[in-house]
Amino acid sequence: MSVMEEDLKVPVERSKRPGADYEALDRDIEKQRLVALEGKKLDVAIEALLNLEKQMRLAADITGTKKVVIAIMQLCYEARAWKTLIEQILVLSKRRSQLKQAVSAMVQQAMQYIDDTPDLDTRIELIETLNNVSAGKIYVEIERARLIRKLAKIKEEQGQVAEAAELMQEVAVETFGAMAKTEKIAFILEQVRLCLDRKDYMRAQILSRKISPRVFNPEADKDKKKPKEGDNIVVEPGPDVPSLTELKRLYYELLIRYYSHSQDYLEICRSYQAIYETATVKEDPSQWIPVLRKICWNLVLAPHDSMQSSLLNSTLEDKKLSELPKFRSLLKHFVTMEVIMWADFLEEYKDEFDQESTLPGEDPGNRAVDDLRLRVIEHNILVVSKYYSRITLKRLSELLSLTFQETEKHLSDMVVSKALKAKVDRPAGVVSFQSKQDSNDVLNSWAVSIEKLLELVEKSCHQIHKETMVHKVTLKVQ
């Protein structure tokens, strides 16, 4: 019977064929194994097993087909015939009406041999063969993702970071229903890391948004509904997949790398805050002290707005900050409405700032010193605006220890960014921090003032009347 004739009609698939003698099948497989290993006739044994595989496949016997396919893989592996192994993978996968369970078993079995390959070229060839076999097959999509990750790791070790990143981006693991949550997150984080390594920040941001921070919340799994019958069975993650807590830290460390590129200090601070709130970090002083230091520095480096102010005050209320008195004093400088003298401030905190580069986490960099000076200037301008409604540019420059041009520049920048409301009369050299009010606002302010005045008059009359009554009672008693 020809190959075309043998595959013309395939019965409906079933797990086990009624009346199938699997003990006899096991004896046949063992017999061929002895022929291959003791008789040194691997080709003869494989040919016999291929005939057995044909019988099982045409009978749509899933169990029998899987047994024979796995036996062929094991024979090639035990004989260390890597070329034959690769050839048999291609042959078995291309056989007409091949059962998907057999292909899945074959790929899973062959993946166990990847780490035992004699050289790198053989390993790459085996991975690429398995990758080609599993391409476009949903039932081996998880295996394909793991294969691509292995291949990308090899490319990265060879210095081909761009090729490794492109390989990883071919796989959209977020659509894999059977893949475990932790393995999905680990795969996406690996994609983000490779994009950051190749300085592709735009793609790194897009990929990072595939992960919601809520997935790291342990409470989220409690509300998860039980799987219904017919739902995909989640495959257990590989042994190299980190725990959810470790993935959370890795996720925020990658975000810190991304935000450090654009010097977004507030987002860096929020990422460190998320790491700081992790249970394992809070319990270990050697971990939370460096993180809390980073939080403080990024808070004072961040531009002033409502979010920054809220985080600043909440951090000051942290009891653990009392163990870092220097940083408590640092934050209080920016909360207290007093002018900060830059020279004294830099001298006081220079050693602490320089120490950040030796601690775990991202180095603030050289630009951070200029940004810190800018934040001190902005703080001082805000302080002056609280105490003065009008002030000369000369006096403002003296308070800020800046030249006329620098003072005007920083003042203008704050007005443009809407951090401050001010007007500069350049010919007169006067800065006005009062915003112009329309007629409705003026009338409302007058109405409030009159109401307060009437309340004071009423209260005064009441006090006078009270004193008069008390005085009259005293005279009568006398």
Burial of residue 36 (number of CB atoms within 10 Å: 0-12, 13-18, 19+) = buried
> Mean pLDDT across the chain, nearest whole number?
83
**Whether 414 and 376 share a structural domain:** yes
Domain boundary pick from 89, 106, 134: 134
Range with lowest mean pLDDT among 187-196, 197-206, 349-358, 394-403 = 349-358
| Domain harbouring 338, CATH code | 1.25.40.570
**Whether 4 and 33 share a structural domain:** yes
**Whether 374 and 453 share a structural domain:** no
> What is the torsion angle, in degrees rounded to the nearest 10, for the CA atoms of residue 370, residue 373, residue 374 and residue 379?
160
pLDDT for 12 = 37
Q: Which residues pair with 391 in a beta bridge?
A: 431
pLDDT band at 10 (very low <50, low <70, confident <90, very high): very low
pTM: 0.79
More confident residue, 332 or 475: 332
Can you say whether the dihedral through the CA atoms of 420, 426, 429, 435 is positive or negative? negative
**Whether 53 and 121 share a structural domain:** yes
In-domain check, residue 313: yes
pLDDT for 353 = 83
How far is Cα of residue 119 from the mean position of the Cα atoms in its chain?
Answer: 35
**Whether 360 and 461 share a structural domain:** no
| Domain harbouring 38, CATH code | 1.25.40
> How far apart are alpha carbons 220 and 213 in whole angstroms?
11
At 24-58, the pLDDT tens digits run: 888 888 888 888 777 678 888 888 888 888 888 88
pLDDT band at 2 (very low <50, low <70, confident <90, very high): very low
- Residue 295 structure tokens: 């939080």
Contact 378, 410 (CB under 8 A): yes
pLDDT for 14 = 47
Collapsing DSSP to helix, strand or coil, 390 comes out as: strand
For the chain, how far is it from start to end, CA to CA, in angstroms? 138
How many Cβ atoms sit within 10 Å of the Cβ of residue 285? 12
Collapsing DSSP to helix, strand or coil, 431 comes out as: strand
In-domain check, residue 212: no
Q: Is the pLDDT of residue 221 over 80?
A: no
**Whether 464 and 346 share a structural domain:** no
- Residue 35 half-sphere exposure toward CB, CA atoms < 13 A: 17
In-domain check, residue 325: yes
Domain boundary pick from 71, 100, 134: 134
Name the one residue in this structure whose structure tokens are 């977004």.
264
- Residue 225 structure tokens: 């509904």
**Whether 325 and 465 share a structural domain:** no
**Whether 107 and 66 share a structural domain:** yes
The number of residues making up the chain comes to: 478
**Whether 299 and 352 share a structural domain:** yes
In-domain check, residue 126: yes
**Whether 1 and 93 share a structural domain:** yes
Domain boundary pick from 117, 134, 151: 134
Name the one residue in this structure whose structure tokens are 């190959």.
3
At 136-170, the pLDDT tens digits run: 888 888 889 999 999 999 999 988 999 999 989 88
Give mean pLDDT, residues 232-254. Answer: 83
Name the one residue in this structure whose structure tokens are 């725990």.
243
At 407-456, the pLDDT tens digits run: 888 888 888 888 888 888 888 888 888 776 667 766 777 788 888 888 89
> How far apart are alpha carbons 81 and 261 in whole angstroms?
49
In-domain check, residue 92: yes
Q: Which residues of 215-244 are buried (b: 16+ CB within 10 A; e: fewer)?
A: bbeeeeeeeeeeeeeeeeeeeebeeebbee
> How many separate domains does the chain show?
3
**Whether 373 and 466 share a structural domain:** no
In-domain check, residue 17: yes
- Residue 306 structure tokens: 């409502």
**What percentage of the chain reaches a pLDDT higher than 90?**
18
**Whether 29 and 122 share a structural domain:** yes
Q: Which residues pair with 431 in a beta bridge?
A: 391, 424
Range with lowest mean pLDDT among 104-118, 188-202, 225-239, 353-367 = 225-239
Contact 235, 178 (CB under 8 A): yes
Q: Is the pLDDT of residue 193 over 90?
A: yes
Collapsing DSSP to helix, strand or coil, 315 comes out as: helix
Domain residue limits at 296:
284-432
How far is Cα of residue 436 from the mean position of the Cα atoms in its chain?
Answer: 46
pLDDT band at 343 (very low <50, low <70, confident <90, very high): confident
Give mean pLDDT, residues 271-284. Answer: 89
Q: Is the pLDDT of residue 477 over 60?
A: no
In-domain check, residue 222: no
In-domain check, residue 206: no
Name the one residue in this structure whose structure tokens are 């007169």.
428
Strand order through the sheet with 390-392:
390-392, 430-432, 423-425
